[in-house]
């Protein structure tokens, strides 16, 4: 029967291999014996190492043995490759809804998914300081509550806050609770949003998760199932600018050819681009008509204009006149 040291030896060797080896950093049997003895107080010989490597291979670790002039063992493929971890680190550190403290904690955990040499590269890749970050850590609890409520088919209630000029959170609706049926979570413009059904208003609404406070799961079942039967989250995100709601409308845009990429990035590859002469194209897209949509059009400049419907053109003119009057 295996002794406790023998059982621990296998586990320690697995940790050593995962933390310290890759294709550029090998450990031979003698080195592994030395690490076990000096750092863990467990004795082993070369033949024991060979046996342990076979056990770990059978367990599923991709242990590669290199022979020749500089022999040794190393971990081949891992669950996450370094480029994948860099993507995850970049997502964490650029996310405004994750606090600086939590960002550092998450990145430290991601570093444990690769060997030490790659972890050092990831550490140099981190640039959190001076990035805009929320200071509200309740976002993590809110996400947990929302997922639980969706799984259990329950409504939730919460207070909803907004920033004041004093840079403090002030509760909206005079501190009254919002009661909604959660159906989805989405990430837009580096913010996390809850997409929910408001039974009192009879419509789908969205809320910034980092602005939700005192969230609770209720005993009442969710409402709005019919509204979400054919709900497409991707389409919802495309038509909603800055996650601000408005009246849905099919809008025709005329654009210069060089703006094709801008339109595709915003509305997806399925959007129709119909040539209009040599230099322009037109497209028809479903949008939530709002000041944020008009701001997007204005920011692009004279290369894009709204050509229909007429009521949206008129709203846009009034929007521009209001902006001019403020100057």
Alpha-carbon distance values, 296 to 254, 290, 314 (Å): 14, 10, 16
Give the pLDDT score at 166. 65
Lowest mean pLDDT among 31-45, 146-160, 163-177, 227-241: 227-241
Alpha-carbon distance values, 99 to 19, 203, 267 (Å): 27, 31, 30
Give the pLDDT score at 238. 57
Quote the strand ranges of the chain, DSSP E.
63-66, 72-75, 154-163, 169-171, 178-188, 191-198, 203-208, 212-221, 247-256, 274-276, 280-289, 304-308
- Over residues 97-107, mean pLDDT: 80
Range picked from 25-29, 168-172, 182-186 for highest mean pLDDT: 25-29
Domain 4-75 falls under CATH 1.10.3720.10: no
Give the pLDDT score at 106. 86
Give the pLDDT score at 296. 85
Give the pLDDT score at 56. 92
SS3 assignment, position 251: strand
Tell me which of 235 and 61 has the higher pLDDT. 61
Question: Using alpha carbons only, how large is the chain's radius of gyration in Å?
Answer: 28
pLDDT of residue 185 exceeding 90:
no
- Confidence category of residue 124, pLDDT binned at 50, 70, 90: low
Non-local CB neighbours of 72 within 8 Å, separated by 6+ positions:
21, 26, 27, 28, 31, 65, 66
CB 263 within 8 A of CB 273: yes
pLDDT of residue 190 exceeding 60:
yes
pLDDT of residue 122 exceeding 70:
yes
pLDDT of residue 241 exceeding 60:
no
- Over residues 134-162, mean pLDDT: 85
Where do the domains of the chain lie?
A: 4-75, 82-124, 138-229, 238-325
- Over residues 298-313, mean pLDDT: 89
Per-residue pLDDT of 152-174, as tens digits, reads: 999 999 999 887 756 677 888 88
Range picked from 81-85, 98-102, 181-185, 263-267 for highest mean pLDDT: 181-185
Lowest mean pLDDT among 7-11, 193-197, 263-267: 263-267
* CATH T-level topology, domain 238-325: Alpha-Beta Plaits (3.30.70)
Q: Please, which residues bridge with residue 210 across strands?
A: none
- Confidence category of residue 182, pLDDT binned at 50, 70, 90: very high
Give the pLDDT score at 127. 57
- Over residues 87-102, mean pLDDT: 77
- Confidence category of residue 138, pLDDT binned at 50, 70, 90: confident
Neighbours of 93 (CB within 10 A): 20
Where does residue 151 rank: exposed (0-12), middle (13-18), buried (19+ CB within 10 A)?
exposed
CB 273 within 8 A of CB 244: no
- Confidence category of residue 1, pLDDT binned at 50, 70, 90: very low
Q: What is the pTM of this model?
A: 0.56
CA–CA dist 217, 152 (Å, integer): 10
Architecture label for domain 138-229? Roll (2.30)
C-alpha closest to that of 222 among 193, 197, 195, 194: 197
Give the pLDDT score at 233. 62
- Over residues 217-223, mean pLDDT: 93
- Confidence category of residue 126, pLDDT binned at 50, 70, 90: low
């Amino acid at each position: 029967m295996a002794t406790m040291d023998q059982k621990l030896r296998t586990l320690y060797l697995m940790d050593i291999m995962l933390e310290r080896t890759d294709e550029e950093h090998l450990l031979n049997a003698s080195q592994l014996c030395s690490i076990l003895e000096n750092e863990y107080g467990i004795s082993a010989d070369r033949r024991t190492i060979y046996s342990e490597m076979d056990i770990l291979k059978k367990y599923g670790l991709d242990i590669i043995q290199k022979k020749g002039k500089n022999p040794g063992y190393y971990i081949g493929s891992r669950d996450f490759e370094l480029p994948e971890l860099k993507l995850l680190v970049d997502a964490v550190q650029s996310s405004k809804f994750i606090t600086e403290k939590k960002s550092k904690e998450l990145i430290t955990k991601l570093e444990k998914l690769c060997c030490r040499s790659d972890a050092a590269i990831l550490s140099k890749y981190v640039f959190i300081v001076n990035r805009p970050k929320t200071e509200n850590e309740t976002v993590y609890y809110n996400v947990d509550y929302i997922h639980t409520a969706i799984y259990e088919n329950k409504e939730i209630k919460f207070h909803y806050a907004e920033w004041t000029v004093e840079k403090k959170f002030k509760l909206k609706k005079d501190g009254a609770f919002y009661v909604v049926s959660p159906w989805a979570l989405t990430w837009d413009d580096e913010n996390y949003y809850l997409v929910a059904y408001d039974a009192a208003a009879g419509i789908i609404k969205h809320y910034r998760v980092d602005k939700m406070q005192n969230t609770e799961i209720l005993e009442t079942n969710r409402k709005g199932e019919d509204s979400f039967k054919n709900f497409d989250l991707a389409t919802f995100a495309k038509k909603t600018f800055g996650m601000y709601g408005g009246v849905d409308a099919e809008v025709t845009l005329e654009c210069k050819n060089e703006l094709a990429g801008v339109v595709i990035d915003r509305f997806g590859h399925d959007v129709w681009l119909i040539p209009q002469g040599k230099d322009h194209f037109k497209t028809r897209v479903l949008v939530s008509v709002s000041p944020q949509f008009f701001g997007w059009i204005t920011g692009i400049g004279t290369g894009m204009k709204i050509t229909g419907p007429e009521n949206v053109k008129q709203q846009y003119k009034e929007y521009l006149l209001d902006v001019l009057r403020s100057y």
